[in-house]
Amino acid sequence: MNSVVVTQPLPPQLLAPLARYCDLQVLATDESLTPALLADARGLICLLTDRVDRALLDRAPGLDFVSSVSVGVDHVDVAALTERGIPLGHTPGVLVDTTADLAFALLLAAARRLGEADRFVRDGQWTPDERWTPSFFLGKDVSNATLGIVGLGAIGQAVARRAAGFDMQVLGWTPSGREIPGVESLPLDDLLARSDFVSVHVALTGDTRNLVSAERIAAMKPGAILVNTARGGIVDEEALARALDEEHIYAAGLDVYDREPLAADSPLLRHPRVVFAPHIGSATTRTRARMVELAVANAAAALAGARMPHCANPAVYG
Ligand code: DGY
Task: Express each pLDDT in 25-34 by its tens digit.
Answer: 999 999 999 9
- Same domain for 90 and 100, yes or no, is no
Q: Does the bond joining 175 to the residue before it have cis omega, within 30 degrees of 0?
A: no
Task: Express each pLDDT in 15-68 by its tens digit.
Answer: 999 988 899 999 999 999 999 999 999 999 999 999 999 999 999 999 999 999
- Same domain for 271 and 296, yes or no, is no
- Same domain for 167 and 265, yes or no, is yes
Q: CATH number for the domain including 304?
A: 3.40.50.720
pLDDT at 20: 86
**Residues recognised as catalytic:** 231, 260, 279
- Same domain for 291 and 272, yes or no, is no
- Same domain for 90 and 104, yes or no, is no
Interval between CA 243 and ligand 1 midpoint (Å): 27
Based on the structure, what is the number of domains in the chain? 2
What percent of the chain lies above the pLDDT cut of 90? 97
- Same domain for 113 and 256, yes or no, is yes
- Same domain for 75 and 107, yes or no, is no
Task: Express each pLDDT in 270-308 by its tens digit.
Answer: 999 999 999 999 999 999 999 999 999 999 999 999 999
Sign of CA dihedral 26, 28, 33, 37: negative
Rounded to the nearest 5°, which phi and psi values hold at 316?
A: -65, -20
Closest CA to 101 of 233, 295, 277, 294: 277
Sign of CA dihedral 64, 70, 72, 77: negative
- Same domain for 20 and 155, yes or no, is no
Structural domain that includes position 19:
2-94+285-317
| DSSP bridge pairs for 162 | none
- Same domain for 87 and 111, yes or no, is no
pLDDT at 1 over 90: no
pLDDT at 17: 92
- Same domain for 188 and 45, yes or no, is no
Interval between CA 28 and ligand 1 midpoint (Å): 21
Spell out which residues line ligand 1, taking CB within 6 angstroms. 48, 70-72, 95, 281-282
- Same domain for 268 and 180, yes or no, is yes
- Same domain for 145 and 245, yes or no, is yes
Q: Please give the number of the atom of ligand 1 that sits closest to the Cα of 280.
A: 7
Q: Looking at residues 149-178, what average pLDDT do you find? A: 97
User: Mean of the per-residue pLDDT values for the chain?
Assistant: 97
Task: Express each pLDDT in 204-213 by its tens digit.
Answer: 999 999 999 9
What percent of the chain lies above the pLDDT cut of 70? 100
